[in-house]
Structure 1
Amino acid sequence: MALDELKSGLTESETAVKEYVDSTAEYLKLKTFRFAMKVITHSIKGMVFGLIVFIALIFLSIALAFILNSMWESETMGYVAVGLMYIVVGIIVYLMRSRIDSSILKSFSKYYFDD
């Protein structure tokens, strides 16, 4: 009699553990899917926005080079100055890469862990 009660108790515990594991697995799948969709949608929006800004930056750079060319009465110095400006910006971004990486990590961590 005690053995039958113990068997039924173990069977109920086993069923409860299986249900818990299944529900936890489903929760993790949903959480992973939600995170992946947030990353994908933010990436797509970022790429579209970045493309628009990039095109605008190209036109503004060409306009600035023309202005500098006419100010300095040179056909090339404006382009050289704009190119050097981008090299300086590139060096600054390279030197700040660890700060940029940590801010990106914090941003994506917020989306994954703040649910």
Structure 2
Amino acid sequence: MDINTNSLFAQMQSMSLQASGNKLPAVGGDMQGISGINAVNSTNSSSSDFGNILTDALKTVNELQQDTGAKKMAFELGDPNVSLGEVMIASSKSGVALDAAVQVRNKFVEAYKEIMSMPV
């Protein structure tokens, strides 16, 4: 089984753009009509968008963790403006966000391993 990597890569890019809402015409198996510069530019823009989304998600998880720590500390010090309910809700939110981030990481690792084990 001979897999043309350029064709596979172009199909993956097309599916990625379609999933994000940008429609591109289907790319044939032989990369005709696509210059190398256009293919590289579309790859860089979609990967930078994905990188930005991932970075923003991790920043949000970090902010939730820091907010939870601050609320816990304020409650422990006796701040009357922070209730136990607020602390528990913040703790639950940060726990769920961290669990989701770990699951996303695990899926990425699985996908990477699967791709790396594919015969070329």
Larger Rg, first or second structure (1 or 2): 1
TM-score (norm. length: structure 2): 0.36
Greater share of residues in helix: 1
